[in-house]
A and B are shown apart, each in its own frame.
Chain A
Amino acid sequence: MQNNNTYLEVKDLSKSFGNFEAIKNIDINIQEGEFVCFLGPSGCGKTTLLRCIAGLETQSTGSVIQKNINISNEPPSNRDFGIVFQSYALFPNLSVFSNISYGLINNKWKKADIKKRVDELLSLVNLTEHALKYPSQLSGGEQQRVALARALATSPGLLLLDEPLSALDAKVRVFLRKQIRDLQRKLGVTTIMVTHDQEEAQTMADRIFVMKDGEIIQSGTPSEIYTKANSPFIASFIGSMNFIPAIINSSNKVKCNQIEINCEIGNFKANDSVQLAIRPEDIQFKQSNQDDNMIPGTIKEVEFLGSFQRVYFEAINITDELIIVDVPSATARKIELDLNKEMNLYFSREDARIYST
């Protein structure tokens, strides 16, 4: 998918530490102005990949091409990027102003221009009044914004974010997500973010690369990844997912113990052992027993989670695990979700997915 707007290309990139292969044969294309996320659990190689792109690690094989120039063997100082780390890495002995101007001074800017640029950046991250403070006098969120301003100061073509929000409180994190995203749109800077937080990836990225054991196992827009997860791992890593053991019965039908369920069975053949996957929010409670795709059982536990209620549902003959059902609070008020009440679950055939075991 070579494209005129390709900004960064990673070709067949691998990196080993001794016998350990941190990343294997990575191929990616990133468009100019795009915001992409490397998403995966810790140890999946996402940070190593980012560091290879930055030149902070040297790849074992493969190449990195930025704006049609092969930069694979360039040291970091010859590459065009700004970077923000989880730990902020602000210089503690320099004021906010000096931290942000740190990279400008070396590029022989005039004093007045530096001042102008730093002021511009400070207002961009809403920190104008903190210019003369030291990093230790700022909150974590403010420090991370300084780090962001410092990385953007020299107007790099590529912005790298290494778990930038992981060290922050939940509230600040949500606030900064939006601020970073808005800033990125405004400046149009091509951005790569590494994160293990699927919610973060989904709310911020144009495109997500899901990684596991050093490989990219799926890429696509947030909604593609969510609705068309290509493996049970991704399905359960991104959002929650119920898995129910099943056997392919005939075309468009699986059998969970004695109950027949309608769904798309794709390439599976009759009598294949599979997992039927269904998201908690796609399940509804039905009182009557007449529709298809019904599973009978008992309510075992109800958790109140504000806007919705999470119900743990026992279907003894179907699965040993409790089935999770998310019911919007408004709906929950109409149907009485009492403990040990016998109910039926229903989901449409479009929402059910089949994975191999």
Chain B
Amino acid sequence: MSLFKFADIRRGKDSSDRVGLFMLISYIILFLLFLVLPLGALISKSLQNKDGEFIGLTNYNLYLQEPALFQSLYNSLFVAICSTVIVVVLAFLFSYALTRTCMPFKGFFKLVALIPLLSPSILAAIALVYWFGNQGVLKEVLLGKSIYGPIGIIMASVYWTFPHALIILTTSLSLSDSRLYEAADVLKTSKLRAFFTITIPGARYGIISTAFVIFTQVFTDFGVPKVIGGNYNVLATDIYKEVVGMQNFQMGAVISMVLLVPAMIAFFIDRYSRKKQISLLTARSVVFKPKKHFKVDMIMLGFCSALALIIILMIGMAQFGAIVKYWPYNLNFTLKNYDFQVAGLGWDSFYNSVELSFYTAIFGTIIIFVGSYLIEKLRINEGYRNTVQFFALMPMAVPGLVLGLAYIFFFNAKDNPLNFIYATMIILVVNTIVHFYTVSHLTAITALKQMDKEFESVSLSLKIPIYKMFWRVTLPVCLPPIFDVSIYLFVNAMTTVSGVIFLYSYDTTLASVSAIHLDEQGEVAKAAAMAMLIVYVSVAVRLTHTIITKKVLRKTQAWRYNILDTK
């Protein structure tokens, strides 16, 4: 997109610098328009009455005096903390098995553990309904307690956040210096003491980071409590009820602020601990290679098998529910659940989702990569670059639901010249890109940091304009991370609920949102079918990605493989 603008503008002296400056300012304006000002609109809405008059903190006072609403805050904290503790423990053991033991079938376990990433969070909730719901197979296991409520929310949240925790903890645990363990061994330290004095302290920032990421994800999640929360209210469902049910936008804004603050705090603690993590391993460290230990390996094999089985049973049950005629009375297979016309929705929402994901992946990748290039490689205007960097990190601290609501307030305003994007595909794409900006941005920055910082200087000395060098060197070298970013954006756009629940219109319904509405209407089988459609697409895209990585990249990345071939 903006890449090609370079060519037109390059004429006078210093053209690269001027283009760079122009683009930095464009990014700042875009972030102001699509992130900062909407959030501002949200805050000001929370300080207004229904007629738009400023009333200070009155709404917040009302909120505090409403015990039912206050109860939701407690509920949100409760399920978030419980889920976090469970996920951190399970994911730590799982990643320990993957990185520190000689357990067999590691590749298989890694693959299975990542399955939840491919589905919307509600899929777990739907599967739980089949397992433990009123007509569930294992209903008795809950000893009379209902799955609709905190138990269901916690179980489903643990399921869908597990791979996120696993990724962070695996990275953190694989960064360890084997010399430390050898030193401990020489000093006759017991394995247990080594675990508590080396392993845990080495991974502590990873653990802290995981805890805050998972806490935020569960705390701000909308899909799971909507489907399986029953009468157990949490902040996310409250916002939805206030806004969609009661049209009380002011209270929706207030609850959004209540949701935003803990997410912000968690974000800053997470950033802080990640910075610490990096400095732990030096270039001189020797990477840890696990040794065989039959008993530990077997215990871990048992543990990982159990978790893998649960994951497979969850997604398996969702698939099973989607293709049986009438659960649990008629278990013959059918495809009629995939015919959404009956429910008045049709396949349109599915196509819309694919369209949204496609645009998000294409435009998102270009915008994010160019943006991170400007920040990382330009030597001009440090102030502007820092501003863009700050904006790029902000979306991670803003829950999708809050961002979505902020977009309504900002873009639905009659006097906003950008009002025309309201209720179109554009606003969904923009919202999704902004919502998932930070992680992609950090991936791109990491990739760019690995490139020699003098490439640009060399190009300038050889009179090659920066845009040519970007095209010929930076882009080809960064293709693998660029593919990763586009896949990440695509899959998240397919599965997201919270970001878009307020923003879709009659013409732009989405698969994940439809699944929720189908469930609302009691069409659980169709909801499962819709959720599974998302899984199919995600799997297909992932597979394509793997093939591209193997086949196409082999050509453009020949220099990577040649190292192995000839040396």
Cβ contact of B460, chosen from A75, A93, A156, cutoff 8 A: A75
* Partner-binding segment picked from A82-90, A222-230, A346-354: A82-90
B1-26 interface bits toward A, Cβ cutoff 8 Å, 1 = contact, 0 = none: 00000000000011011000000000
Is B458's CB under 8 angstroms from A150's CB?
Answer: yes
Cβ contact of A92, chosen from B460, B464, B477, cutoff 8 A: B477
Is B452's CB under 8 angstroms from A56's CB?
Answer: no
Is A75's CB under 8 angstroms from B17's CB?
Answer: yes
Is B458's CB under 8 angstroms from A89's CB?
Answer: yes
Report which B residues bind A (CB closer than 8 A): 13-14, 16-17, 379, 452, 454-455, 457-458, 460-465, 468, 472-473, 476-477, 556-560, 562-563, 566-567
Chain B at the A interface: SS class: helix
Is A77's CB under 8 angstroms from B562's CB?
Answer: no
For window 110-162 of chain A, which residues contact chain B by CB distance below 8 Å? 133-137, 150-151, 153-154, 156, 160
For window 226-245 of chain A, which residues contact chain B by CB distance below 8 Å? none
Is B559's CB under 8 angstroms from A154's CB?
Answer: no
Q: Nearest 3 pairs between A and B by C-beta?
A: A103-B462, A76-B460, A89-B454
Inter-chain CA distance A55–B16, complex, in Å, is: 14
Cβ contact of A135, chosen from B13, B379, B461, B559, cutoff 8 A: B559
Q: Which of B461, B477, B556 has the most CB of A within 10 A?
A: B461
Q: How far is the CB of B340 from chain A (nearest CB, A)?
A: 46
Is B454's CB under 8 angstroms from A87's CB?
Answer: yes
| Chain A contacts for B458, CB-based, 8 A | 83, 85, 89, 150
A307 in the interface (beta carbon within 8 A): no
22 residue pairs of the A-B complex, CB under 8 angstroms, read A75-B14, A75-B17, A78-B13, A81-B461, A82-B461, A85-B458, A88-B452, A89-B452, A89-B455, A91-B455, A91-B472, A93-B473, A93-B476, A94-B559, A103-B462, A107-B463, A133-B562, A133-B566, A134-B563, A136-B559, A151-B461, A160-B461
Chain A at the B interface: SS class: loop
Cβ contact of B464, chosen from A56, A93, A94, A102, cutoff 8 A: A102
Q: How far is the CB of A231 from chain B (nearest CB, A)?
A: 33
Look across to chain A and name the residue whose beta carbon is closest to the beta carbon of B557: A93
**Contacts beyond the supplied A75-B16, A134-B558, A137-B566: 16 A-B pairs with Cβ under 8 Å:** A54-B461, A76-B461, A82-B462, A85-B452, A85-B454, A89-B454, A89-B455, A91-B477, A93-B556, A93-B558, A102-B464, A103-B464, A106-B462, A135-B559, A151-B461, A156-B461
A292 in the interface (beta carbon within 8 A): no
| Chain A contacts for B563, CB-based, 8 A | 134, 136-137
Look across to chain B and name the residue whose beta carbon is closest to the beta carbon of A103: B462
Q: How far is the CB of A99 from chain B (nearest CB, A)?
A: 9
For window 57-87 of chain A, which residues contact chain B by CB distance below 8 Å? 74-79, 81-83, 85, 87
A200-214 interface bits toward B, Cβ cutoff 8 Å, 1 = contact, 0 = none: 000000000000000
Inter-chain CA distance A224–B566, complex, in Å, is: 49
Q: How far is the CB of B483 from chain A (nearest CB, A)?
A: 15
| Chain A contacts for B460, CB-based, 8 A | 55-56, 75-77
| Chain A contacts for B560, CB-based, 8 A | 136
Q: Which of A81, A89, A107 has the most CB of B within 10 A?
A: A89
| Chain A contacts for B454, CB-based, 8 A | 85, 87, 89
| Chain B contacts for A55, CB-based, 8 A | 460
Look across to chain A and name the residue whose beta carbon is closest to the beta carbon of B565: A137
| Chain A contacts for B379, CB-based, 8 A | 56
Inter-chain CA distance A162–B460, complex, in Å, is: 15
Is B567's CB under 8 angstroms from A74's CB?
Answer: no
| Chain A contacts for B461, CB-based, 8 A | 54, 76, 79, 81-83, 103, 151, 156, 160
| Chain B contacts for A93, CB-based, 8 A | 473, 476-477, 556-559
Look across to chain B and name the residue whose beta carbon is closest to the beta carbon of A88: B452
Is A102's CB under 8 angstroms from B462's CB?
Answer: yes
